[in-house]
Amino acid sequence: ETGVTQSPTHLIKTRGQQVTLRCSSQSGHNTVSWYQQALGQGPQFIFQYYREEENGRGNFPPRFSGLQFPNYSSELNVNALELDDSALYLCASSYNRGRGNEQYFGPGTRLTVT
Amino acid sequence: GQNIDQPTEMTATEGAIVQINCTYQTSGFNGLFWYQQHAGEAPTFLSYNVLDGLEEKGRFSSFLSRSKGYSYLLLKELQMKDSASYLCAVRDLDTDKLIFGTGTRLQVFP
């Protein structure tokens, strides 16, 4: 059973650029949730994808978008990067929108915007 | 509104017991999670409570009182490797999203 994986591990971008982050869910899981964690803060919910459709969104602007593929892997896209987008981006894998007790996080992608 | 409160920092001695409290106010409740997060790493699942009472898992136990909006994580026989941030998160009933507190940074001293 493979765990949750994310790529890349680290990324440095310039303000105004666009970025795509990737997440592969744990085997058997069909739901991926994305979180943003600023330094010293708890993770903040961005959105969740369940069976290739968005299933809930947090308080993030439309320039944060995503999608989920038939194999349940997912991408997070951020357009027009701002300095405040610098954070650790985490994806969490679960089954059936996380209604059980399984909600496992990937290692994260650390994004730095300069 | 939705609000999760937990202490910012705690310190304890190796071998001791520490209790990390979490209080929450949410419009809908569908379970409470505790995660451990070492600096620069992803959160690691520790426990899940959806019914009132105590869940024990080795050195770690978690308690929930839904009527009081209160949970605690109890760590026994503390080890140096337990130095980390401990995140309390509540799952929202309507959206299934996890709402996190800011985390409690625990430092274990020898």
pLDDT tens for chain A, 114 residues long, are 568 999 999 999 999 999 999 999 988 888 999 999 999 899 999 999 998 999 889 999 999 999 999 999 999 999 999 999 999 999 999 887 666 667 789 999 999 999
Q: Which residues of B touch A48 (CB under 8 A)?
A: 95-97
| Nearest beta carbon to residue A105 from set B4, B43, B48 | B43
Contacting residues for A103 by C-beta, under 8 A, at least 6 apart: A33, A92, A93, A94, B33, B45, B98
Spans in chain B with pLDDT lower than 70: 1
Q: Chain B residues contacting A, CB < 8 Å?
A: 4, 30-31, 33, 35, 40-45, 48, 50, 87, 89, 91, 95-103
Omega cis (within 30) before A8: yes
Query: How high is the pLDDT of residue A103?
Result: 79
- The 10s digit of each residue's pLDDT in A66-92 is 999 999 999 999 999 999 999 999 999
Q: Of B27, B96, B100, which to mutate for an interface test with A (greatest number of A Cβ within 10 Å)? A: B96
Cβ–Cβ under 8 Å, residues A90 and A106: yes
Q: Give the gyration radius of chain B's Cα atoms.
A: 13
- Give the sign of the dihedral formed by CA A38, CA A43, CA A45, CA A47: positive
Determine, for residues A105 and B103 on separate chains, whether the beta-carbon distance falls below 8 Å.
no
* Phi, then psi, of B81 in degrees rounded to 5: -70, -10
Burial class (CB in 10 A: 0-12, 13-18, 19+), B76: middle
**Nearest residue of chain B to residue A97 (CA atoms):** B96
